[in-house]
Amino acid sequence: MRYYSTVDKHHIVSLQQAVLKGLAPEQGLYMPEQIKRLPKEFFDSMATLTFQEIGMRVATQLIGEDVPANDLEQMVKHTIQFDAPLVEVEENIFSLELFHGPTLAFKDFGARFLSGLLAYFSGRQNKEIVILVATSGDTGSAVANGFYNVPGTKVVVLYPSGKVSDIQEKQFTTLGGNIKALEVDGTFDDCQRMVKFAFSDEELNQQIFLTSANSINIARLIPQSFYYFYAFAQLKDRKNPVVVSVPSGNFGNLTAGLIAKAMGLPIHKFIAATNINNVVPKFFSSEVFTPQPSVSTISNAMDVGNPSNFPRMYDLYRNDFNLLSNDVVSYYFSDEETKSAMREVYHTSNYVMDPHGAVGYLGLKKYLKDHKNETGIFLETAHPAKFKEVVEETLNTNIALPQRLEEFMSGAKRSIKISSKYQDFKSLLPTLIT
């Protein structure tokens, strides 16, 4: 399969190049030339397959031409080491729990698959790979943990100082070894901008083999499509149309869902739910895409003012507004609405949602109000304990930290403070990786 750039359709590369480079020239994003539908036989037998088997079928369909089956199977198995159960929260409303991985958020799937694929490709060249990642919280921890001690790789995490939770910060600042954390005096958008600059900086790229682990890397998206199929496979009753609500920030997760749909998964509608960082909901109501500075909210992993996967999502629909609007509706919600949803679901169903999942839940409820006979799934993207303070305060209860998180909390934070000036970052970088 070949991959083209969203900026220049004639810029075409192999999977290896797309994965190693992460970003195409001039901020382009790589897209597969073709997304083939899975056969009917797969959909008929889906309910009898394991999560790993489903992952393998989907991965083979997407990249089976580029990676030998044995290697691909190893990557899929390494990625799917934990379940993604579909839990009924209310009648016809299900939570797809994507937080059972090592860092308790859905980004574990993408990070683990990417580390497998990069290790496979780096084995074919003898240069150390430096993975740059800007994070608003969860990406950094998932990538740091997915790559920790992976030979031939170094990870540099840039995060906005004081704008990620203690638990998130501990998960990428305490590992040491091949993981370096840069604490940026600025916002997430500053971090993302510095990473983007670094990739287009020719001088730097001649010195260092840089690659990206942000959701702009196509390898992050591929495994995220697995669990949409798996969610569908777990539904007992598929008589009614199925809709999926995706709490979104950079829109990688939603794009992966739309890829699953393009492969034939019968999802009737997707709901793109955001917090008040509402650039995409505004686009759906106005047809105008206007990036904004990001605003802090309690669902901070979605505090994104210029969603980096938006061009990819739109490209999937040939930049046709009507086509995209047929498949996706979009809403946004305030922190107050998010908290009341968390309280309501806790009191009526005894189910604890994290603030991100709660935004997804709200999107679903809003849509289902006018579409009664549909079955709804929302993605629960993080374990509530990852956002312990706000969840405890909102629900007025104690949330136990899972063992894995306890271990991180006892480690010592090691980070390097830096300004949000690109030049400062550029001069520091070579000293980090020797």
Ligand X SMILES: *Cc1c(COP(=O)(O)O)cnc(C)c1O
Q: Which one of 234, 253, 277, 278 is in contact with ligand X (CB under 6 A)?
A: 253
Q: What is the three-class DSSP state of 351?
A: coil
Output the smallest distance, CB 72 to ligand X, in A: 23
Q: Should residue 178 be labelled a site residue for ligand X when binding is judged by CB under 6 A?
A: no
Cβ-based nearer residue to ligand X, 62 or 208: 62
Binding mask 88-127 for ligand X (x = CB under 6 A): -----------------x-x--------------------
Sheet holding 86-90, edge to edge: 86-90, 93-97, 375-380, 242-247, 269-274, 328-332
Q: Write out the DSSP string of 215-238.
A: TTSHHHHHHHTHHHHHHHHH-S--
Which of 79, 215, 217, 306 touches ligand X (CB under 6 A)? 215
Give yes or no for residue 248 binding ligand X (CB under 6 A).
yes
For ligand X, the binding residue among 95, 115, 173, 381 (CB under 6 A) is 381
Q: What is the DSSP string of 135-149?
A: -SSHHHHHHHHHHTT
* Cα(276)–Cα(335) distance, integer angstroms: 8
3-class secondary-structure state, position 299:
coil
- Decide: 104 and 383 in contact? Cβ < 8 Å: yes
Residue 20 beta carbon to ligand X: minimum distance, rounded to whole angstroms: 21
Nearer Cβ to ligand X, position 42 or 82? 82
Per CB under 6 A, the list member of 302, 316, 368, 405 interacting with ligand X is 302
Three-state SS at 65:
coil
Among 242, 243, 202, 20, smallest CA distance to 121 is for: 20
122/309 with CB nearer ligand X: 309
| Short-list 61, 72, 67, 52, CA closest to 32 | 61
Q: How far is CA 202 from CA 158, 198, 206, 208, 284, in A?
A: 20, 8, 6, 10, 36
CB 374 within 8 A of CB 241: yes
Q: Which of 107, 154, 196, 339 is catalytic?
A: 107
Q: How far is the CB of 327 from ligand X (least distance, A)?
A: 16
State the amino acid at position 131 in one-letter form. I
Nearest CB to ligand X, comparing residues 43 and 317 = 317
- Could you give the CA distance from residue 286 to residue 270 in angstroms, rounded to a whole number? 18
**Residue 249 binding ligand X, by CB under 6 A:** yes
Is residue 388 among the annotated active site residues?
no
3-state secondary structure of 84: coil
Question: Residue 86's beta-bridge partner residues?
Answer: 96
Show contacts with ligand X in window 401-430 (CB under 6 A).
none
252 binds ligand X (CB under 6 A): yes
**173 belongs to the binding site for ligand X (CB under 6 A):** no
Of the pair 111, 117, the CB lying nearest ligand X is at 111
* Residue from 170, 269, 356, 388 binding ligand X (CB under 6 A): 356
Cα gap 122→100, rounded to integer Å: 28
CB of 299 to ligand X, least distance (A): 7
- Please report how close the Cβ of residue 219 comes to ligand X at its closest, in angstroms: 14
Q: Does 5 bind ligand X (CB under 6 A)?
A: no
Cα angle 209, 171, 95; round to 5: 105
Please choose, from the candidates 278, 238, 281, the residue with its C-alpha nearest in 3D space to the C-alpha of residue 367: 281
Window of 12-20, 143-151, 180-188, 248-256 that interacts with ligand X by CB under 6 A: 248-256
Size of the site for ligand X (CB under 6 A): 16
Tokens 């379940």: give the residue.
83
User: How far apart, in whole angstroms, are the C-alpha atoms of residue 50 and residue 224?
Assistant: 16
269 near ligand X, rule: CB under 6 A: no
Stretch that binds ligand X, among 8-16, 250-258, 282-290, 389-397 (CB under 6 A): 250-258
Q: Tell me: does residue 382 bind ligand X (CB under 6 A).
A: yes
Q: How far is the CB of 239 from ligand X (least distance, A)?
A: 30
Binds ligand X by CB under 6 A, chosen from 67, 93, 191, 301: 301
The encoded tokens of residue 211 equal 């690659």
Min separation Cβ 270 and ligand X, Å: 12
Q: Are 429 and 205 in contact (CB under 8 A)?
A: no
Closer CB to ligand X, 368 or 379, in the complex:
379
Is 277 near ligand X (CB under 6 A)?
A: no
Closest separation between CB of residue 249 and ligand X, Å?
4
Compute the distance between CA of residue 125 and CA of residue 144 in angstroms, rounded to an integer. Answer: 22
Residues that bind ligand X (CB under 6 A): 105, 107, 138, 215, 247-253, 301-302, 356, 381-382
Active site residues: 107
